[in-house]
Amino acid sequence: MKILLITLLSLIAFAGNSILCRIALGQEQIDAASFTSIRLLSGAITLFILYALFHKNKQTAGKGSWLGAVYLFIYAITFSYAYISLETAIGALVLFSSVQFSMLAYTFFSGTKIYPIEWCGALIAFIGFSYLVLPDISSPSLIGFVLMVLSGMAWAGYTLVGKKSSNPLADTAFNFIRTLPFITLLSIMTLNSTNASTTGILLAVIAGSVTSGIGYAIWYVALKHLTSVQAAVSQLSVPIIAGIGGFLFLSEPISERLAISGAIILIGILLVVLDKKPLKS
């Protein structure tokens, strides 16, 4: 139950990222580059403070990796630019469907056994995704769609790196800190196009400190107890959470298609998560 709650908290944080990003960029409160830079910087500062306060034995603490930092930056920058033109629920659905396919492909080609019921659950979740997206593939921005797919692939890489984490808070903190050279370069390159309101900056800080920084550290804790397939498929619940959040905070309608696809995705997730041993001991 504890692991289920931790997993749910991290998934809610992921949905929060979608909502905060969509509010900030969809309402033009801030430009995408500034949102990304402030988000990652805020996450780095928050996590470093938590690391300094709560890690007593820093000599044996994890230090993250440059590979994790690269994945994190690519995910964050493509995520921001994609949400300029995508609605909250659609963006989250494309993102985590891309995550699922990328992680399943890695699991398959790495030689890890995937049970038939897991394939079935993943297929059902994919059908739910297809039902929502394919009929209206011309409706969302093509550029936004492609960017979000790339963001999902990068997040899949970040998640797979996280499965090896022995110290979630320390590893997440140093992954964020390692993105500082990238966001410095990004800020210099986009200096002339900077446009940030107080509200936009505040949203970026919240997204970085809470739903990203703390949320990703919690996710790394959950990953220690989830198989790669469970981690991949469970994230497909985020569009449902994001859709509810978009309805509550952005007045975005919950369409019949979104409701039906959400139900199909949930069935797929349940097949994977409840099969055999739901969580690793």
The pLDDT of residue 270 is 79
The pLDDT of residue 99 is 87
Say how far apart CA 94 and CA 85 lie, in whole Å.
13
Residues of the chain scoring pLDDT < 70: 1, 56-62, 88-89, 132-140, 250, 274-281
The pLDDT of residue 57 is 65
Hey, is 140 helix, strand or coil? coil
Contacts of 117 by beta carbon, 8 Å cutoff, 6+ apart: 271, 272, 275, 276
Say how far apart CA 252 and CA 158 lie, in whole Å.
30
The pLDDT of residue 58 is 59
- Joined together, the tokens standing for residue 116 give 């038939």
Hey, is 24 helix, strand or coil? helix
Hey, is 59 helix, strand or coil? coil
Hey, is 63 helix, strand or coil? coil
The pLDDT of residue 208 is 94
Tens of pLDDT along 4-48? Answer: 889 888 988 988 888 888 888 878 899 999 999 999 999 999 999
* Amino acid in the structure at residue 136: D
Q: Do residues 170 and 61 touch, judged by C-beta distance below 8 A? A: yes
The pLDDT of residue 279 is 43
Tens of pLDDT along 208-233? Answer: 999 999 999 999 998 888 888 888 87
- The DSSP letter of residue 279 is S
Q: Do residues 94 and 150 touch, judged by C-beta distance below 8 A? A: no
Burial (Cβ within 10 Å: 0-12, 13-18, ≥19) of residue 116: exposed
The neighbouring-strand residues paired with 30 are 196
The pLDDT of residue 278 is 43
- Joined together, the tokens standing for residue 7 give 């997993």
Closest CA to 143 of 86, 74, 70, 98: 86
The pLDDT of residue 218 is 93
